[in-house]
A = this chain, B = another copy of it.
Amino acid sequence: MNIRARHDAIVRSLRRNGMTTVDELAEEVGASRRTILRDIGALRDEGFVIHSEPGRGGGLLLDPGSVQTTARLAVTEVFALLLGVAAMRAAGNLPFSGLADSGLAKIEKALPPEKLRDLRRFLDCLHVGKLSPLQDLSNVGTMDPGLLPAFETAFLQRIQLKFRYRDAKGVVTERQIEPQAMLILPPLWYLVAWDPAREDFRHFRMDRISHPEPVDSLKFRQRHVPFEDDVCPYRDLLR
């Protein structure tokens, strides 16, 4: 067995059994007592918190808040991580203990700088309305990926966007708007935008939009204020 695989096996076993002895681990993993002890030392060096009390019945115990299995992250996963961390940071350090910024900084450093900048700018534009439970997300989200390059351009460069919209009655109109936010309310995507012609905010279901086209050089600003009144503006969303 590989040294890395053995480390993972040890962590898994500790997590599963809650409490074990070195000898049990040695038998389970198929390595000698000495090797297991060396491995535990290495894992501690890497940041795992492994309690041990010689003399008592069961010896080894892994701290549940301890660090996790190694994983090589794809760019999309790093993006997901940044997105999640943005939410976590916005939450102070809400439901759980504070974020380990050091590890995160390492990840950010590993990203190509231009990519990171783009990700951050896109994050600035992306509003997440509702996060569904993870279990239900497999069969969610219907939207044409072909639309996205135009939207990304409009969002990032903050220029107006032109497209055709088919409303609930099937009537098709031509719209030219200033995109303000992308709103995800699974299974649907909405574009929140300022419509200069109607002088009002509108939202558009993404699956009813076609032929999007950025309008060069028509720059605009984004608008956002927190609300004060205690009547819920989301009442239409809830039932």
Which of the residues B103, B120, B128, B132 comes within 8 Å of A73, measured between beta carbons? B103
User: In the complex, which residues of chain B have a beta carbon less than 8 angstroms from the beta carbon of A104?
Assistant: 77
Residues of A in contact with B, size category: 35 or more
Q: Is the pair B81, A81 in contact by a Cβ cutoff of 8 Å?
A: yes
Chain B residue nearest to A204 (CB atoms) is: B230
Q: Which of A30-38, A51-59, A134-142, A210-218 contacts B (4 or more CB under 8 A)?
A: A134-142
Give per-residue flags for A85-108: 1 if the beta carbon is below 8 A from chain B beta carbons, else 0.
111111111111111100110110
Q: Is the pair A236, B227 in contact by a Cβ cutoff of 8 Å?
A: yes
Chain A residues with a Cβ under 8 A of chain B: 11-12, 15, 46-47, 64-100, 103-104, 106-107, 109-112, 115, 120-124, 126-135, 137-138, 140-143, 145, 148, 152, 165, 167-168, 180-181, 183-189, 192, 194, 200-205, 223-239
